């Protein structure tokens, strides 16, 4: 049997859900599992919870749990990466500092000011992880990256880290279900092809019984009772570009320059029924609430019935299906993030794209997409330029490249002047000093400027659509909702999936 290691395993529900997926494969009932995290308390809690699940499913697996990453990686054939460098403390600055300059983000983990800085923290750590993998893991180790910014981290691991890395996201599955919903069909009745870059992937083919439904999609969304209200940005992009985007309304709204640049207009494009529809700092709020709830409610989680390791309870995340295909030969079709190398002809060959692929014993094989529709490709090209600058900045510690990444970012550029961008980057570098060792000199200079040079005026703002972070007492009024929120904040999914 083989060994699977989880880095960042102390995440609230995601590790547990992925373990459930893996151990629902009958052939995997004797694999080795290792968990590692820098937070001993979180690691202990998640290990205890998962070990309880394993025992109650009558498996003889004992989790290796350690804060020593190299020890956890020894001999690992597969590594799941689910880290968040800087945790919620750094995440808060990714949202609050840009808000002072009018940059209103819903998520801030992929592009825009927050996503760029998240990448600056994550890239050096990922390169360190890659070094450990090359030195102590299995010689053919596959790194499955679930961490954001997905494209930047996957890019750096493959091109600089020298580790075979595949990026995995569930955005395609979510949009696929929406498309089926608007046509009144079951998901399995609708065949889709998506292509683009992570969080800006486009459903370029939608078929039902051989009929192409792409041309009927706009009317179907515009007349849908729920989605017409909750997916206004995605519907408008569909209207302007002709294709539906995989990413949620809130995510997508911060990747392009048109929907969040004027505070008084943001609410026209979003919905506050769920954070993912565009709430200011929405993901930070649910992550904060989820962490607080989990820490307080953990004893009750242990009292709940164990998760069942069955095919019926298996989730939609690609990870377990990839391992199943590689180890058993059962073919799996999914959408994966990997170096382009011509898969999408009109996007750069070295960029990380998201496109269809097939997995079997021979490995992960991407299909040839050809050209993206020109408008869709143009949207992706802008984001790739930001990613390229941000990746090089993180490697070199060149703050000039970092500032250029901010300038090229669509939403930052739509809202801020160059002097404002320069000052905002200074502020974010200073705030993130403990996680940004490659910028030591730049941070020192930024501190001098902050103390000695005239400051541009900024605005203490909660944003256009900021909601209150609920206390434990408030969340306890609806414990079921709070627990669901804790899982949602950690990417945990419970929808079934199947190989094909």
Catalytic annotation, residues:
170, 255
Residue 120: half-sphere exposure toward Cβ, Cα within 13 Å? 36
Residue 208 forms beta bridges with which residues? Answer: 211
Residue located via tokens 């519907």:
235
Q: For the purposes of burial, counting CB atoms within 10 Å of the CB of 473, is it exposed (0-12), middle (13-18) or buried (19 or more)?
A: exposed
Distance CA 168, CA 20 (A): 17
Distance CA 199, CA 247 (A): 5
What six digits make up the tokens of 24? 């629902």
Q: For the purposes of burial, counting CB atoms within 10 Å of the CB of 262, is it exposed (0-12), middle (13-18) or buried (19 or more)?
A: middle
Helices 374-396, 232-241: axis angle to 10 degrees equals 120
- Please answer whether residues 351 and 388 qualify as being in contact, where contact means their C-beta atoms are separated by less than 8 angstroms: yes
Q: For the purposes of burial, counting CB atoms within 10 Å of the CB of 20, is it exposed (0-12), middle (13-18) or buried (19 or more)?
A: buried
Please provide the DSSP assignment of 399-438 as one string: HHHHHHHHHHSHHHHHH--HHHHHHHHHHHHHHTGGG-GG
Residue located via tokens 């989680």:
301
What six digits make up the tokens of 200? 């800006």
What dihedral do alpha carbons 51, 55, 60, 66 form, nearest 10°? Answer: 10
| Exposed e or buried b per residue across 129-153, where buried means at least 16 C-beta atoms within 10 angstroms of its C-beta | bbebbeebbbeebbbbbbbbbbbbb
User: Which helix (H) or strand (E) segment is 194 a member of?
Assistant: strand 191-197
Residue located via tokens 């026209």:
268
Residue located via tokens 């403390």:
89
């Amino acid at each position: 049997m083989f060994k699977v290691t989880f880095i960042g395993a102390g995440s609230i529900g995601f590790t547990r859900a992925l373990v459930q997926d893996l151990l629902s494969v009958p052939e995997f009932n004797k694999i080795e599992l290792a968990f590692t995290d820098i937070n001993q308390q979180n690691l202990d809690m998640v290990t205890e919870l998962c070990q309880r699940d394993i025992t109650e499913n009558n498996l003889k697996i004992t989790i290796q749990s350690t804060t020593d990453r190299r020890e956890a990686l020894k001999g690992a054939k597969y590594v799941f990466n689910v880290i968040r460098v800087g945790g919620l403390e750094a995440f808060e600055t990714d949202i609050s500092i840009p808000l002072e300059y009018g940059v209103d983000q819903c998520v801030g983990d992929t592009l825009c000011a927050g996503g760029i800085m998240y990448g600056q923290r994550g890239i050096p750590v990922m390169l360190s992880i890659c070094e450990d993998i090359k030195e102590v893991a299995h010689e053919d180790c596959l790194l499955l990256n679930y961490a954001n910014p997905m494209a930047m981290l996957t890019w750096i691991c493959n091109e600089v880290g020298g580790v075979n890395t595949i990026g995995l996201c569930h955005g395609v599955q979510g949009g696929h279900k929406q498309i089926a919903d608007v046509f009144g069909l079951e998901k399995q009745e609708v065949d889709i092809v998506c292509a683009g870059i992570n969080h800006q992937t486009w459903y370029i083919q939608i078929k039902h019984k051989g009929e192409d439904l792409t041309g009927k999609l706009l009317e179907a969304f515009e007349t849908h009772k729920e989605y017409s209200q909750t997916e206004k940005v995605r519907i408008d992009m569909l209207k302007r570009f002709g294709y539906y985007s995989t990413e949620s309304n809130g995510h997508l709204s911060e990747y392009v320059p048109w929907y969040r640049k004027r505070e008084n207009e943001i609410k026209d494009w979003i919905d506050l029924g769920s954070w993912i529809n565009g709430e200011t700092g929405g993901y930070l709020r649910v992550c904060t609430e989820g962490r607080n709830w989990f820490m307080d409610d953990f004893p009750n989680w242990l009292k709940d019935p164990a998760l069942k390791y069955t095919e019926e309870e298996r989730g939609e995340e690609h990870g377990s299906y990839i391992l199943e295909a590689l180890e058993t030969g059962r073919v799996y079709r999914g959408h994966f993030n990997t170096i382009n190398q011509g898969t999408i002809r009109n996007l750069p060959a070295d960029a990380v794209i998201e496109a269809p692929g097939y997995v079997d014993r021979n490995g992960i094989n991407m299909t040839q997409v050809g050209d993206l529709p020109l408008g869709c490709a143009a949207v992706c090209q802008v984001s790739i330029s930001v990613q390229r600058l941000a990746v090089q900045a993180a490697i070199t510690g060149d703050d000039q490249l970092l500032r250029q990444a901010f300038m090229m970012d669509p939403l930052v550029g739509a809202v801020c002047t160059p002097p404002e961008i320069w000052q905002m980057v200074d502020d974010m570098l200073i705030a993130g000093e403990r996680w940004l060792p490659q910028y030591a000199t730049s941070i020192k200079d930024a501190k001098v400027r902050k103390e000695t040079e005239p400051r541009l005026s900024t605005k203490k703002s909660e944003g256009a659509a900021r909601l209150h972070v609920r206390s434990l007492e408030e969340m306890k009024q609806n414990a079921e909702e709070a627990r669901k929120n804790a899982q949602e904040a950690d990417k945990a999914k419970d929808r079934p999936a199947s190989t094909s």
